[in-house]
């Protein structure tokens, strides 16, 4: 790897992404793809990769950033999102928890076992609403191979097998108001994403979120990275087991309703975002979820 030059590396990483897009038909002609752009390395690579893929297919791109309201952290990410979108000539729609929900993550996180719980719920909610309003056919997220393995183990550890249906490079339409998601970096290891950003001197947001160390995901990530050195191939083995399970489980379908309070798609009668808003307004301590 040390001798690999930049052009060869770029060829390798973009060919793998292109093959995934074409193999799974993640994008179809004339679609509008909304890239969830945090400014971190994964979302920035997704934006660059989808811009390049326009060479092969005619479709449109827009980017959406969501400012969760994490003081001293998120604004740097937004700067990187703005710069990359501008350099690539892609429109960036900027959203925030404060404007959409009336509070910043910093204001409410202490009500939860982990800040990632409300963060994930409201970010997904705002992304979906925005992409839907823009008329996007799909949302492209920067989930890489390591993220996918972590998510798989998190669901496994919780016995939450319904979530297995959310794995794979694309999520089907299960409700007309839920914009389908694609993951162009689904089989790209995190270390390759980092190397791409460094080799190409890409403007990305490198800081760690101040809340991330509290999450189950961070602990699983640390476990995997520590043990991958000692047991090389560990991550691949988990991914392979997971793909075998997926072939058995991919007929899981979730029936979605519309939230009684806000109308967004949900598997219950009230969506997670509204449920959390009620908890926050009641000033309840919730320890039932963990991201």
Binding residues for ligand SF4, rule CB under 6 A, total: 9
Residues numbered 52-71 forming contacts with ligand SF4, rule: CB under 6 A: 68
Q: Which is nearer to Zn ion, 90 or 273 (CB)?
A: 273
Q: Which is nearer to ligand SF4, 21 or 81 (CB)?
A: 81
Distance of alpha carbon 69 from alpha carbon 39, whole angstroms? 15
**Please, where are the H alpha helices in the chain?**
6-23, 41-53, 74-88, 97-101, 105-108, 116-134, 145-158, 190-199, 216-230, 234-249, 272-281
Span of 87-95, 125-133, 204-212, 252-260 interacting with ligand SF4 by CB under 6 A: 204-212
Q: Which of 37, 90, 259, 276 binds Zn ion (CB under 5 A)?
A: 259
Q: Which is nearer to ligand SF4, 27 or 273 (CB)?
A: 273
Distance of alpha carbon 51 from alpha carbon 179, whole angstroms? 20
Q: Which two tokens stand for residue 155?
A: 């669901």
Span of 82-90, 94-102, 136-144, 267-275 interacting with Zn ion by CB under 5 A: 267-275
We find the least distance from the C-beta atom of residue 47 to ligand SF4, in angstroms, to be 18
- Contact partner at residue 259 from ligand SF4, Zn ion, none, CB < 5 to 8 Å by partner kind: Zn ion
Is position 274 an interface residue for Zn ion (rule: CB under 5 A)? yes
We find the least distance from the C-beta atom of residue 211 to ligand SF4, in angstroms, to be 4
* Nearest partner of 54 among 80, 21, 9, judged by Cα: 21
Span of 5-13, 174-182, 195-203, 258-266 interacting with Zn ion by CB under 5 A: 258-266
Q: Which of 261, 280, 289, 290 binds Zn ion (CB under 5 A)?
A: 261
- Cα separations (Å) of 192 from 10, 40, 196? 10, 14, 6
- Contact partner at residue 115 from ligand SF4, Zn ion, none, CB < 5 to 8 Å by partner kind: ligand SF4
- Contact partner at residue 209 from Zn ion, ligand SF4, none, CB < 5 to 8 Å by partner kind: ligand SF4
- Contact partner at residue 262 from ligand SF4, Zn ion, none, CB < 5 to 8 Å by partner kind: Zn ion
Is position 212 an interface residue for ligand SF4 (rule: CB under 6 A)? yes
* Nearest partner of 219 among 116, 127, 150, judged by Cα: 150
Q: Which of 262, 279, 280, 286 binds Zn ion (CB under 5 A)?
A: 262
* Nearest partner of 133 among 100, 110, 88, judged by Cα: 100
CA 272 to chain centre: 17
Can you tell me which residue has the tokens 């598997």? 267
Distance of alpha carbon 34 from alpha carbon 41, whole angstroms? 17
Q: Are 62 and 134 in contact (CB under 8 A)?
A: yes
Q: Which of 35, 85, 220, 271 binds Zn ion (CB under 5 A)?
A: 271
Q: Is 46 helix (H, G, I), strand (E, B) or coil?
A: helix
Site string for ligand SF4, 106-125 (x = CB under 6 A): ---------xx--xx-----
* Nearest partner of 81 among 97, 62, 98, 100, judged by Cα: 62
Positions that interact with ligand SF4 (CB under 6 A):
68, 115-116, 119-120, 209, 211-212, 215
Positions that interact with Zn ion (CB under 5 A):
259, 261-262, 264, 271, 274
């Amino acid at each position: 790897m040390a001798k690999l030059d930049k052009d060869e590396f770029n060829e390798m990483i973009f060919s793998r992404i292109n093959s995934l897009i074409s193999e799974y038909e993640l994008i179809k002609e004339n679609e509008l793809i909304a890239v969830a752009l945090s400014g971190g390395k994964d979302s920035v690579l997704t934006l660059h990769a989808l811009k390049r893929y326009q060479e092969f297919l005619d479709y449109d791109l827009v980017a959406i950033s969501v400012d969760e309201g994490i003081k001293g952290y998120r604004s740097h990410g937004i700067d990187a999102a703005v710069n990359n979108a501008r350099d690539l000539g892609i429109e960036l729609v900027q959203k925030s928890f404060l404007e959409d929900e009336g509070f910043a993550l910093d204001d409410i996180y202490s009500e939860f076992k982990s800040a990632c719980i409300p963060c994930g719920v409201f970010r997904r909610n705002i992304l979906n609403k925005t992409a839907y309003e823009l008329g996007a056919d799909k949302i492209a997220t920067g989930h890489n191979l390591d993220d996918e393995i972590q998510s798989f183990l998190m669901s496994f550890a919780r016995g939450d097998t319904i979530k297995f249906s959310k794995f794979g490079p694309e999520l089907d339409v299960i409700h007309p108001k839920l914009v389908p998601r694609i993951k162009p970096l689904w089989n790209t290891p995190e270390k390759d994403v980092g190397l791409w950003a460094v080799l190409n001197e890409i403007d990305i947001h490198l800081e760690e979120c101040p809340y991330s160390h509290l999450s189950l995901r961070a602990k699983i990530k640390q476990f995997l990275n520590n043990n991958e050195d000692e047991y090389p191939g560990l991550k691949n083995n988990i991914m392979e087991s997971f793909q075998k399970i997926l072939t058995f489980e991919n007929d899981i379908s979730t029936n979605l309703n519309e939230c009684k309070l806000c109308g967004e798609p949900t598997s219950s009668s009230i969506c997670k975002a509204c449920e959390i808003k009620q908890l926050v307004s009641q000033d309840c301590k919730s320890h039932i979820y963990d991201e």
